Homo-oligomer: A and B are copies of this chain.
Amino acid sequence: MRGAGGRAGLRVRLPRAATEAARCLGLADPLHRHAAEELRSVLEPNAERLRATLEAFSSADVGGTPRGGVSRPAASDADKAVRDRFAGMAGDLGLAVRVDDAGNMYARREGSRPDAEPVLVGSHLDTVVPGGRFDGILGVGLALETVALLNDADTRTARPVEVVNWTGEEGARFPPAMLGSGVVTGAWDVEYAHSRTDAAGARLGDELSRIGYLGERGNRLGSFFASLEAHIEQGTQLEEADADVGVVSFIEPVRWCTTRVTGRGGHAGGPGPDGRAEAMVAAARMVAAARDASLDSGDFKTTVGTMRVEPGSNNVIPHEVTFNLDIRSQDDDTLGQRLARVTERFDEIARQEGVEVAVEQAWALSGPPFDASVQQLLARVAGERGVRWAPVRGHIGHDSLHLASMGPAAMLFTRTQGGLSHCEGEFAPWESVLTTATVYANAALALADAETLT
């Protein structure tokens, strides 16, 4: 990015956070001169059309809830309905739609160089139950709006633009999360994806087939020039920075640790407090110790969201308590060090309480960082468009995390209210949505015309 001034004639309201970020990010122009020079038009989103698109993806006939949310588990009837709608809208925009063997949908706008790697835009249309009306939906909506703007401008980009709707990003019905993008990027075999079952025992493969969205392996995305995903923030960094748009530097790596504490069971009326080796008390001290360690250190965070207590009777001292420790930090190294510190603390507590503790890593997510060149492009476009933006970090997995292992990927975040997400109250202010759409469309256009990223 080039300083904070931007081009003459553009209104510039670059906040301090952005200036600082520019200093951090800003090296040379990230795009090859060819692309930068050829940013031929400035795309301005059509507010009415964008709003209609977002409403079409959250109306009652595609899983919209009476309280303003959306309940649309992957491969459900509601998911079929919204996929049909997505295909219809893509068709209306002149896009060719294909479906791969993981149920991922791609809607392609050809470029002038049909052999060139495409620019990938989009997100996912499945939700948690009940979910909000922005998560995933906004990312698909902004991608379609971008294509519509290119159509409006009658612009033929050099590269193809592909709007994608990934299957089962949420993992709410068929865990794990980010399944469709995981298949395409090689994180999972497609057989694994097909064999995932929901709570009722239905298999994802069968359900995709049932709703008519089990496609061909040959339709999978092969490679891409750059990938751009917009998403609501699911946090409060943008509110705190009073910015509308976030340029995401990275998504925090995460580890899940199954922590099993084994003590001595017995009747609650039995031994006095001195004579116990009690899994529940030790586990409680561990939960508190993890929090205290994160407060002390300030550079990682922990969450305990599940706890299984055995045997689970009011008047029986549990002999075993198992909880999951979700731990996140800024990078893998820090995370590893902090986890080691926390588990040391767990060991100490176990010794003091006379119980055993075993910490087993059940899941880890540590994607490569997002592409610096694309981040710089996003920052530059935001600066040029006078957008209040800030560099942010992602705290939650997204399909782009898988994509970053396959090619240059980046994300934009849209400001949300109070960090609410995955719930019916999820809300992104309209101004932030429009502002994100502006940055998104113009960055996509720049990428679609770029010859190389440097």
Contacts and interface: CB of A to CB of B under 8 A. Distances in A.
A234 B280 contact: no
Contacts of A190: none
B395 A269 contact: yes
A396 B273 contact: no
A337 interface: no
Interface in A295-329: 295, 301-307, 309, 312-318, 324, 326, 328
Contacts of A205: none
A268 interface: yes
Nearest to A240: B275
Contacts of A254: 268-269, 315
Quick one: which of A256, A273, A275, A419 has the most chain B CB within 10 A? A273
A101 interface: no
Contacts of A270: 234-236, 395-396, 419, 421
Quick one: which of A254, A256, A294, A305 has the most chain B CB within 10 A? A305
B256 A314 contact: yes
Quick one: which of A268, A395, A421 has the most chain B CB within 10 A? A268
Q: How many copies does the complex hold?
A: 2
Nearest to A271: B419
Contacts of A328: 268-269
A285 interface: yes
Contacts of A306: 309, 312-314
Interface string A215-240: 00000000000000000001110000
A314 B288 contact: no
A274 B288 contact: no
A203 interface: no
Nearest to A251: B269
B318 A309 contact: no
B269 A252 contact: yes
A153 interface: no
Interface in A80-119: none
A421 B270 CA distance: 9
A272 interface: yes
A439 to B, nearest CB: 23
Contacts of A313: 305-306
Contacts of A271: 235-236, 419
A12 interface: no
A314 B318 contact: no
B294 A305 contact: no
B291 A288 contact: no
Contacts of A380: none
Interface of A: 234-236, 252, 254, 256, 266-275, 278, 280-281, 283-288, 291, 294-295, 301-307, 309, 312-318, 324, 326, 328, 363, 394-397, 419-422
